[in-house]
């Protein structure tokens, strides 16, 4: 258990999200999840050249403009603006001022693509004009940790700054790493989450290679765990959570939304299609449960990845079945709400915190014909109460697996 002997108990005290579902702290995120209105629609930022894929989950320019000072925004790339805005929202939600409190704050960011738009502009400058076309102003943005670098300056974070690069699970992996660092005392507190933006070049190439829906024909859309699933729909945005030791949160009277009682990650050998050949034994789930000192039947609900990629979804459900056996927690996915992007993992953690406080649990939007009858899914149009502890689970092509156990504050509340 992360709060066991020699380990500090880690609680979630702030949420900041700028996503296709809207922008705000814990309350705004809870309202968006409760409403269940998908942010997936035809792309507006750029033409899709009549390709097979036309859909995306975008953050509107108006939403972002409302969160940034115009002068500051002029100096920052869009993905850096998303990062800073979400970090500030999380700190405001937690009533945490790094400069005023004197407390050191770490920043753990997960991303899949980084500032790819700036990187592309930098490369095009050289291709069009040679060495004189290389912009020294754009060069720092070609480094994967540019979002962490600009955010640490903007919010006054003075502890470790770490950037993790992973497909699909970058956000939840960042939260898992941050929770482990805070629990061990290596970080006093940490903002953790993920950020990505939709790049026109990447979108068109992924669509051309049939990595996005519709991968195998049929109607385009994000249909996790449904027999219509035929690939993911890209999204964008940034979501961060503030993690603090329980005693620190109590001392400063912080809001406590939930406790991360277990966090584990690992990889399985991947086969053809970059999805593991065998279900595996759910080892990350088992290790997270062991840290939390919970049996398998202590988990009553789970936020899964569920991208709509048929092979990946099937592997994830096999992992869950292997870990829980005859026990069947209620399952959901947020991907059909906000699209597949690095911020989604942290949004799942924020959703888990909301579930622990309210016992409300979002349905899998668009789920009509589940692929498996041996799993209990949160179906649209039904009541999905969910009490007790739950799981946030992430999987990615290539075999990466992340598991976090999120529990009600219980005696953690001040």
Range 303-335 burial, b when 16+ CB lie within 10 A, else e? bbbbbbbbbbbbbbbbbbbbbbeeeebbbbbbb
User: Quick one: pLDDT at residue 328?
Assistant: 94
SS3 string of the chain? CCCCCCCCCEEEEEEEEEECCEEECHHHHHHHHHHCCCCEEECCCCCCCCCCCCEEECCCHHHHHCCCCHHHHHHCCHHHHHHHHHHHHHHHHHCCCHHHHCCCCEEEEEECCCCHHHHHHHHHHHHHHHHHHCCCCCHHHHCCCHHHHHHHHHHCCCCCEEEEECCCCHHHHHHHHHHHHHHHCCCCCEEEEEEECCCHHHHHHHHHCCCCCCECECCCCCCCCECCCCCCCEECEEEEEEEEEHHHHHHCCCCCCEEEEEEEEEECCECHHHCECCCCCCHHHHHHHHHHCCCHHHEEEEEECCCCCHHHHHHHHHHHHHHHCCCCCEEEECHHHHCECCCHHHHHHHHHHHHHHHCCCCCCCCCCCECCCCCEECCCCCCCCCCCEEEEEEECCCCEEEEEEEECCHHHCC
**Rounded to an integer, what distance in angstroms lies between the CA atom of residue 263 and that of residue 284?**
8
**Residue 329 — very low, low, confident or very high, per pLDDT cuts 50/70/90?**
very high
Q: In this predicted model, which residue has the larger pLDDT, 315 or 88?
A: 88
Task: Answer yes or no: is pLDDT of 268 > 50.
Answer: yes
Cβ atoms 198, 115 nearer than 8 A: no
Average of per-residue pLDDT across 339-365: 96
Domains of the chain: 10-258 (3.40.47.10), 262-412 (3.40.47.10)
Average of per-residue pLDDT across 3-8: 70
CA–CA distance from 391 to each of 26, 61, 147, 403 (Å)?
19, 33, 28, 7
Q: What percentage of the chain exceeds 70 in pLDDT?
A: 93
**Residue 190 — very low, low, confident or very high, per pLDDT cuts 50/70/90?**
very high
Range 10-23 burial, b when 16+ CB lie within 10 A, else e? bbbbbbbbbbbbbb
Range 110-139 burial, b when 16+ CB lie within 10 A, else e? bbbbbbbbbbbebeebeeeeeeeeeeeebe
CA-angle at 226, arms to 222 and 232, nearest 5° = 25
Average of per-residue pLDDT across 145-171: 94
Q: pLDDT tens digits, residue range 205-237?
A: 999 999 999 988 789 999 999 999 999 999 999
- Which residues make Cβ contacts (< 8 Å) with residue 326, sequence separation at least 6? none
Among the listed residues 11, 402, 406, the one whose alpha carbon sits nearest the alpha carbon of residue 170: 402
CA–CA distance from 277 to each of 161, 319, 325 (Å)?
35, 12, 20
190: tokens are 């940490």
376: tokens are 């209990």
Q: pLDDT tens digits, residue range 18-42?
A: 999 999 999 999 999 999 999 999 9
**Rounded to an integer, what distance in angstroms lies between the CA atom of residue 198 and that of residue 159?**
30
User: Quick one: pLDDT at residue 352?
Assistant: 97
User: Quick one: pLDDT at residue 414?
Assistant: 43
Cβ atoms 11, 312 nearer than 8 A: no
Cβ atoms 112, 167 nearer than 8 A: yes
User: Other CB atoms closer than 10 Å to residue 211's CB: what's the count?
Assistant: 16
Average of per-residue pLDDT across 240-258: 96
Q: Give the burial class of 200: count Cβ atoms within 10 A of its Cβ; 0-12 exposed, 13-18 middle, 19 or more buried.
A: middle
Residue with tokens 């593991």: 276
CA–CA distance from 95 to each of 85, 88, 114 (Å)?
15, 10, 29
């Amino acid at each position: 258990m992360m709060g066991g002997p020699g380990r500090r108990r880690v609680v979630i005290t702030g949420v900041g999200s700028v996503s296709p579902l809207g922008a705000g702290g814990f309350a705004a995120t809870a309202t968006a999840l409760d409403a269940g209105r998908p942010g997936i629609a035809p792309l507006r930022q750029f033409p899709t050249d009549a390709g097979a894929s036309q859909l995306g989950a975008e953050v509107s320019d108006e939403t972002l403009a409302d969160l940034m000072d115009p002068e500051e925004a002029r100096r920052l790339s869009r993905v850096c603006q998303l990062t800073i805005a979400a970090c500030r929202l999380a700190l405001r939600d937690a009533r945490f001022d790094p400069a005023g409190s004197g407390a050191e704050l770490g920043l753990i960011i997960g991303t899949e693509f980084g500032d790819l738009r700036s990187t592309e502009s930098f490369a095009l400058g050289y291709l069009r004009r040679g060495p004189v076309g290389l912009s020294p102003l754009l060069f720092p943005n070609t480094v994967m940790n540019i979002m962490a670098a600009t955010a640490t300056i903007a919010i006054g974070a003075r502890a470790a700054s770490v950037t993790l690069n992973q497909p699909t699970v970058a956000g939840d992996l960042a939260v898992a790493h941050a929770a482990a660092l805070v629990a061990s005392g290596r970080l006093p507190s940490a903002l953790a989450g993920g950020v990505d933006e939709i790049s026109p070049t990447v979108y068109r190439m992924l669509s051309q290679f049939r990595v996005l829906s519709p991968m195998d024909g049929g109607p385009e859309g994000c249909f996790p765990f449904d027999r219509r699933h035929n690939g993911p729909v890209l999204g964008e945005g940034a979501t961060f959570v503030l993690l603090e030791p329980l005693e620190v949160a109590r001392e400063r009277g912080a809001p406590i939304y939930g406790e991360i009682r277990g966090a584990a990650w690992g990889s399985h050998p991947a086969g053809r299609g970059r999805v593991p050949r065998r279900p595996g034994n759910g080892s990350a789930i088992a290790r997270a449960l062991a840290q939390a000192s919970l049996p398998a039947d202590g988990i009553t609900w789970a936020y899964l990845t569920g991208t709509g990629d048929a092979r990946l979804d099937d592997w994830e459900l096999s992992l869950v079945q292997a870990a829980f056996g005859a026990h069947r927690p209620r399952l959901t996915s947020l991907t059909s709400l906000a699209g597949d992007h690095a911020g989604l993992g942290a949004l799942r953690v924020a959703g888990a915190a909301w579930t622990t406080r309210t016992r409300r649990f979002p349905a899998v939007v668009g789920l009509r014909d589940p692929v498996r009858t041996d799993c209990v899914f949160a179906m649209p149009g039904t009541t999905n109460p969910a009490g007790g502890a739950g799981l946030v689970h992430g999987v990615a092509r290539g075999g990466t697996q992340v598991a976090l156990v999120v529990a009600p504050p219980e005696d953690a509340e001040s």
